[in-house]
Amino acid sequence: MSRNEPRADLLMLLMRSASALAEQINAAVVADGHPTLRPAHGLVLLRVTGDGATVSEIAAYLGITKQSAAVIVDELVASGYLSKHPHPYDRRSQLVRLTSAGADVTAAATDAALFLWNAASTTLGADTMASLVHALEEIGKGGTPRPVW
């Protein structure tokens, strides 16, 4: 098969690549002293970075039920990575935010992702990486992240 022929296994290649990157980032996070975290936790931490989010917003972001999102949030609160606060505009909701430990683990994951980016750039070249980013942005338009369980 030449490089220019269509690939019916594009989805599998993308999934395998995403899974490999998530596993490598998670391994770096675990090595940084966070042994209980999984890749799905990273997506939650990413979503609440900044102004925070409600459990409903986290569920919508991950494409899971509110109940499932609440379980993950409660795990991360119990582990000290997230905290819950009264929502400033909705008394029925709580705002979930990063703790300092959550910010630390998010920084560790970001460092690992940048390390992987630099390694891929060295192997593939900056032009190929730029083309890859553009192609993935096109392919992924309208998509949402899904946890890797």
Nearest CA-CA partner of 135 in 49, 39, 7: 7
Structure tokens, 60:
């919508």
- pLDDT value at position 148? 52
The answer to whether the predicted template modeling score (pTM) of the entire model surpasses 0.85 is no
Q: What is the distance between the alpha carbons of residues 38 and 22, in angstroms, rounded to a whole number?
A: 9
Q: Is there a contact between 15 and 143 (Cβ–Cβ < 8 Å)? A: no
From first to last of its 149 residues, the chain has per-residue pLDDT tens of 567 777 888 889 998 999 899 999 999 999 999 999 998 899 999 999 999 999 999 999 988 999 999 999 999 999 999 999 998 888 898 999 999 999 999 999 999 999 999 999 999 999 999 999 999 999 989 887 776 54
- pLDDT value at position 147? 62
